Chain A
Amino acid sequence: MPMLTINNLHSAYQGQVVLQGVDLSLAEGDILALLGPSGCGKTTLLRAIAGLQPTSHGQISIANTLCNDDGVLVPSEQRHVGMIFQDYALFPHLTVAQNILFGVSEKNPDLRAQRLQEMLALVRLQGLAERFPHQLSGGQQQRVSIARALAYRPQLLLLDEPFSNIDAQVRGQLICEIRQILKQLNISAIFVTHSKDEAFAFADQLALFKAGKIVQCGRPETLYELPNDRYVAEFLGSVNYLPASIYDNYQVDTPIGRLSSRTALNKPISYAGELLLRPQQFELLGDDNSDAVISERRFLGNHCHYVVDILQYRLQVHSEQTQWQLGQRVKLQMKAHSLVVF
């Protein structure tokens, strides 16, 4: 059963069309990342799902209840969605305990105390219940806001850039921790970010946004390996393009030779276009007779970033072999992978 279904959603904000025909579906227990550059409409979509942003056209259903449609608008307070904000939105005049219990409608004091303890244990903040938000670190504040949203027992959790204010050193760990909590409770979540690394680390599904539309949605691996278009390919990682024409279902001719794909190609035979090659899909072999030569080299710790000139093309190559120096002639080899031609 899908937890969330969105059909052809449109929204305008102060006269500007922000969402123009968004379709999306989220299975129960899944975590979906809305990824895109700032100003592309991803936060607007999140707010529309929460009922905080008016929509002009299209439907949103949460757990099979129609929430937005022409003439239908279920107010935020009846949607049972939890929301985590970029600035955490912890109420500064309330303690951690009061914040966590803010949305809990349970009246029985024992049950309330029990819920509080559960939540504190879940986010590992036992002993901090009587602190005020300003006495906590950024990561702790974020965990309180997660606990507060979960204590309310939402059907769907929405996270708006939740990790952007967290120090880079602890961000990775916090992402893992929160992902674990959501998986443990089988909570469906939608998460907005402009960082592909956060999206890869946190989400089961990825929806890439461009100017108010979703350009591709699916598993992160699929989007990375088989992007629909150049925008998706370039957003998710570095790229090289080489002119290419399709030879048969699995092979493609390029200036650096005939290359084979692990899966069937996405274009018909004799189609001429450009082949996508990621920098880490090359292998470099020393070869003094080769016409490829290393023209730039940057050492990056666990790998080296090379620029290789071949014919009139410049290719970016990431290699764990750090021994090649400027001017070294190398032979380019492809690692086996699925090829994509645009």
Chain B
Amino acid sequence: MEQSHNLFQAAQLMGSSAWQSFFRLALPMARPALAVGVALVAMETVADFATVDYFAVPTLTTAVYDTWLGYGSLSAAAKLSVLILLVVFTMVGVERFARRKQALYQQGVQDAGQFKYQLKGWRKWAVFSYCTMLLATGFLIPFLILVNYSYHYFEQSWHDEFWQLSINSLMVATIVSITCVLLALLLMFVKRVSPYRQDLLPSRLVSTGYALPGTVLAIGVLAPLTYIDFAINDIYQWLGMKGPGLLFTGSLAALVIAFTVRFAAIAIGSIENRYKTMSPSYDMAAMTMAQKPWQLFYRIHLPLLRKAMFVGALLVFIESMKELPAALLLKPIGFENLATYVFQYVSDEQLEQGALAAIVIVLVGLFPLIYLNKSIEQNYADVNH
């Protein structure tokens, strides 16, 4: 959350110490942002599958998974999913509410530059160690353990199947990111040029997909696709021909559809933000110069959206590499990707052998993130220069 440094300077001039500024200014102003954070963490926790499964904590998500894969009951799984949805929607409500407040609190932030207190002595070291500890326990130590495992078990992990797994992951992630970006372009262009309010609805609807936990989403995708698959086969039978089998649920289509529903919001967000910075007068200028809507899109929007499309695709790509519960529930028989492969070894208490695959997932996500952070900083510098 951005807080105007003028406020802190004003407080300091009125004799407020660093602690006082924190408790009287920074913390109260950050309240809505904290509420947003808490709601998001709660949502992710409710939706989490892999961690609770590994530690054998029975939760709603593992129950959905077991009900479908263990007992084969789609309807019971669907009922459990609705329960999760209820929790998620409550959290989304809390988050939206807090965000509205946040907008209020941030009114009048013109210069969100940084205001720094220079710490000295033990305080400096205390803050430094706390931040380092977060980074170490959250990322560095687990990652080093993984590196250690994969070094010792490299022979067992590095086999032909590993290539196939990586290619599977990359392929699904690539298809999904392209689909998401194309979908986002279409929805956002319609939103931009349409004078009708009801045309905002599809993009709003699609954006809610990100709030759905993978498990719930998988069941939600599975139910209608199973129905369609059966219907297609019934029609073939009625015509006296042999059915094509499970067209959707038996192929990657289900996986791609579910991932697209879940991650389209990311691509939409990226493209929507770029559109927001584009002056509406560009469109009006083009239209008064005899440009048809498709020319407006091709000659103006597309070149200006290029970077946002790339960033959106990259983010969707990273998420698709990582997504586990939807992949587990929807993968065709015999299909494995890096995420499901790691999960399988972890479940079998053979973490060491899955370590290499886990590292690949982390690295594939890490390098683009570094690039993204750089480009965000770059944009920030561009805007502020």
Residues of A within 8 A of B (CB): 47, 50-52, 54, 75-83, 85-89, 91-93, 102-103, 105, 148-149, 152, 154, 158
Contacts and interface: CB of A to CB of B under 8 A. Distances in A.
B52 interface: no
B285 A85 contact: yes
Most buried by B among A77, A88, A148: A77
Interface in B251-309: 279, 281-282, 284-292, 299-300, 303-304
Contact of A103 (B291, B292, B303): B291
A81 B300 contact: no
A76 B287 contact: yes
Given A92-B304, A93-B303, A103 B282 contact: no
* 4 tightest A-B CB contacts, nearest first: A103-B289, A89-B281, A85-B281, A89-B285
Contact of B304 (A54, A93, A148): A93
Contacts of A76: 284, 287-288
Contacts of A89: 279, 281-282, 284-285
A96 B288 CA distance: 18
B195 interface: yes
A161 B299 CA distance: 26
Nearest to B195: A54
13 contacts: A50-B288, A77-B288, A77-B289, A77-B292, A82-B289, A83-B284, A85-B279, A85-B284, A85-B285, A89-B281, A102-B286, A102-B299, A152-B289
Interface in B26-54: none
B300 to A, nearest CB: 6
Contacts of B299: 102
Contacts of B285: 83, 85, 89, 91, 148
B378 to A, nearest CB: 15
A36 to B, nearest CB: 20
A87 B279 contact: yes
Contacts of A158: 288
Nearest to A47: B284
B145 to A, nearest CB: 47
B303 A86 contact: no
Contact of B290 (A54, A87, A91, A103): A103
A78 B290 contact: yes
Interface of B: 195, 279, 281-282, 284-292, 299-300, 303-304
A90 B304 CA distance: 12
Given A52-B284, A105-B290, 19 more contacts: A50-B288, A51-B287, A75-B287, A76-B284, A77-B287, A77-B291, A82-B289, A85-B281, A85-B284, A85-B285, A88-B281, A89-B282, A89-B285, A91-B304, A93-B303, A93-B304, A103-B288, A103-B291, A158-B288
Contacts of A50: 284, 288
A171 to B, nearest CB: 20
Nearest to B304: A93
Given A85-B284, A89-B279, A77 B290 contact: yes
B234 to A, nearest CB: 48
Contacts of B289: 77, 82, 102-103, 148-149, 152
Nearest to B300: A91
B192 to A, nearest CB: 14
Contacts of A75: 287
A82 B300 contact: no
Nearest to A82: B288
Contacts of A88: 281
A78 B287 CA distance: 9
A143 B287 CA distance: 20
Contacts of B195: 54
A92 B279 CA distance: 11
Contacts of A80: 290
A105 B292 CA distance: 13
B381 to A, nearest CB: 14
A78 B291 CA distance: 9
Most buried by A among B195, B285, B299: B285
Contacts of B300: 91
Contacts of A154: 288
Given A93-B303, A93-B304, A79 B282 contact: no
A165 to B, nearest CB: 12
B281 A86 contact: yes
A93 to B, nearest CB: 5
Contacts of B281: 85-89
Nearest to A79: B288
A76 B290 CA distance: 7
Contacts of A87: 279, 281
Contacts of B282: 89, 91
A219 to B, nearest CB: 28
A158 to B, nearest CB: 8
A149 B288 CA distance: 9
Contacts of A82: 288-289
Nearest to A86: B281
Contacts of A102: 286, 289, 299
B298 to A, nearest CB: 12
